């Protein structure tokens, strides 16, 4: 087993892939809710990815990623036996679980990949977990079987009704609360706009709400300020103070504005044609 070698690669749908990677030192310390920062090669960009799982004995960590841009598309071209240049972690604070009896985890789209270790980790910890998985349509559904095994109740919803119930995650959450389900905490993981609405709903019902933020990151150590978010009027760094925060305190509009800062450069990057290698390296 080589350092940071891809041991298993499994496509979950057209865009989302599950990797099992050898990283014994990271696996030894990993906890649900934490993430790593990796580089594909020595010139690579550093990108953060949540650990979807880890196996201390086998010395492996699991990553589930969506191919959305430059680095994740490069990762799509890596195969079993290939190695990452480096993986740093575990980073961030683990998911808070103490004192919780019953929670509802709400995952939206790719956010379900990040919600997976949180929901199943809480379940293993003895917490009752209702899981709402929301997707735009049937083709994008991932991890259904894994969530069904790893949580108490799974509610699948799609925006267009092509799979599960036709509903947004917030509609389903509203329904469960109005039916009398009592939660100590709601955990929101997905697009910022979904997390904002879930947190508003939780606040209206006086339920604690935690959101897992995915701000831009560079060093992952609290030094560069790249991942700054405003929480309760104070500057916090998602990499060291998070990634999970009290969702009712997050300045969502500021976070959404910051996440759109580099949209133009990223679109340019994705369309980049590499003349050195004589081919298209990345494409939409
Ligand atoms: C703590 C943390 C955990 C994460 N865990 C996962 C995970 O488990 N699985 C996964 O698929 N993704 C995860 N992400 C998001 C992932 O880091 C980005 O998708 C990745 O950096 C994109 O890199 P790229 O070079 O492929 O795309 P880029 O070309 O850099 O960007 C492509 C698109 O992705 C968006 N994007 C880029 N970086 C982020 C970011 N940090 N958060 C949200 N959107 C972003 C851009 O706005 C753009 O629309 C996580 C992010 C953070 C901060
Ligand atoms: S990534 Fe640099 S401060 Fe968080």
Query: Would the CB of 64 count as within 6 Å of ligand 1?
Result: yes
CA of 223, closest atom in ligand 2: 3
Amino acid 29: pLDDT: 96
Distance 115 CA to ligand 1 centre (A): 15
Neighbours of 175 (CB within 10 A): 14
Q: Whose CA is nearest to atom 3 of ligand 2?
A: 222
Q: Which ligand is nearest to the CA of 219?
A: 2
Distance separating alpha carbons of residues 178 and 131, to the nearest angstrom: 16
Pick from 11, 19, 49, 88 the residue to mutate for probing ligand 1's pocket: most ligand atoms within 8 Å of its CB. Answer: 49
Q: Whose CA is nearest to atom 13 of ligand 1?
A: 49
Query: Would the CB of 118 count as within 6 Å of ligand 1?
Result: no
Both structure tokens of 263 = 């949209």
Distance separating alpha carbons of residues 283 and 72, to the nearest angstrom: 11
Distance separating alpha carbons of residues 213 and 69, to the nearest angstrom: 19
Distance 67 CA to ligand 1 centre (A): 9
State the average pLDDT for the chain.
91
For the chain, residues classed under CATH 3.40.50.80 are 102-259
Q: Residue 194 pLDDT > 90, yes or no?
A: yes
Distance separating alpha carbons of residues 11 and 65, to the nearest angstrom: 10
pLDDT in tens, 153-162: 999 999 999 9
Q: Residue 282 pLDDT > 60, yes or no?
A: no
Distance separating alpha carbons of residues 26 and 56, to the nearest angstrom: 9
Distance separating alpha carbons of residues 167 and 135, to the nearest angstrom: 10
Distance 107 CA to ligand 2 centre (A): 24
Distance 133 CA to ligand 1 centre (A): 19
Amino acid 260: pLDDT: 73
Distance 179 CA to ligand 1 centre (A): 36
Q: Residue 94 pLDDT > 80, yes or no?
A: yes
Amino acid 263: pLDDT: 60
Which is the CATH superfamily of the domain at 6-91?
Translation factors (2.40.30.10)
Both structure tokens of 165 = 């119930």
In 5-67, which residue ranges form alpha helices assigned H by DSSP? 24-29
Q: Whose CA is nearest to atom 4 of ligand 1?
A: 49
Distance separating alpha carbons of residues 133 and 125, to the nearest angstrom: 20
Distance 84 CA to ligand 1 centre (A): 17
State the average pLDDT over residues 255-273. Answer: 65
Q: Which of 174, 177, 138, 144 is nearest to 159 (CA)?
A: 138
Query: Would the CB of 66 count as within 6 Å of ligand 1?
Result: yes
CA of 68, closest atom in ligand 1: 32
State the average pLDDT over residues 244-248. Answer: 96
Q: Which ligand is nearest to the CA of 66?
A: 1
Distance 32 CA to ligand 2 centre (A): 20
- Residue pointed to by tokens 């990815």: 49
Query: Would the CB of 113 count as within 6 Å of ligand 1?
Result: yes
For the chain, residues classed under CATH 2.40.30.10 are 6-91
Q: Residue 280 pLDDT > 90, yes or no?
A: no
User: What one-character-per-residue DSSP string does 171-240 give?
Assistant: HHHHHHHHTT---SEEEEES-HHHHHHHHHHHHHTT-EEEEE-----SSSSSSS-TTEEEETTEEEEHHH
Q: Which ligand is nearest to the CA of 116?
A: 1
Please give the span between the terminal C-alpha atoms of the chain, in angstroms, as a whole number. Answer: 33
CATH number of 102-259: 3.40.50.80
């Amino acid at each position: 087993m080589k350092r940071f070698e891809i041991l298993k690669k499994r496509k979950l749908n057209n865009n989302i892939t599950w990797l099992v990677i050898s990283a014994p030192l990271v696996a030894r310390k990993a906890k649900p809710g934490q993430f790593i920062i990796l580089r594909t090669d020595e010139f690579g960009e550093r990108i953060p990815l949540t650990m979807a799982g880890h196996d201390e004995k086998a010395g492996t960590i699991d990553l589930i990623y969506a191919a959305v841009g430059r680095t994740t598309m490069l990762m799509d071209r890596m195969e079993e036996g290939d190695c990452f240049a480096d993986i740093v972690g575990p980073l961030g604070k683990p998911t808070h679980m103490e004192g919780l009896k019953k929670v509802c985890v709400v995952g939206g789209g790719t956010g379900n990949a990040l919600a997976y270790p949180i929901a199943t980790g809480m379940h293993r910890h003895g917490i009752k977990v209702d899981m709402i998985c929301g997707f735009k349509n049937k083709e994008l559904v991932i991890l259904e079987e894994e969530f069904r095994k790893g949580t108490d109740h799974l509610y699948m919803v799609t925006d267009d009704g092509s799979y599960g119930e036709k509903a947004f995650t917030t509609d389903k959450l509203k329904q469960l609360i109005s039916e009398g389900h009592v939660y100590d905490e709601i955990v929101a993981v997905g697009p910022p706009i979904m997390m904002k609405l879930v947190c508003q709903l939780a606040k209206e019902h006086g339920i604690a709400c935690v959101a897992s933020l995915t701000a831009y990151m560079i060093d992952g150590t609290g030094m560069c300020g790249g991942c700054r978010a405003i929480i309760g009027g104070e500057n916090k760094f998602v990499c060291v103070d998070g990634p999970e925060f009290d969702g009712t305190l997050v300045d969502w509009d500021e976070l959404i504005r910051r996440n759109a800062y580099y949209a133009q450069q990223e679109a340019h990057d994705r369309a980049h044609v590499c003349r050195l290698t004589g081919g298209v390296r990345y494409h939409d």
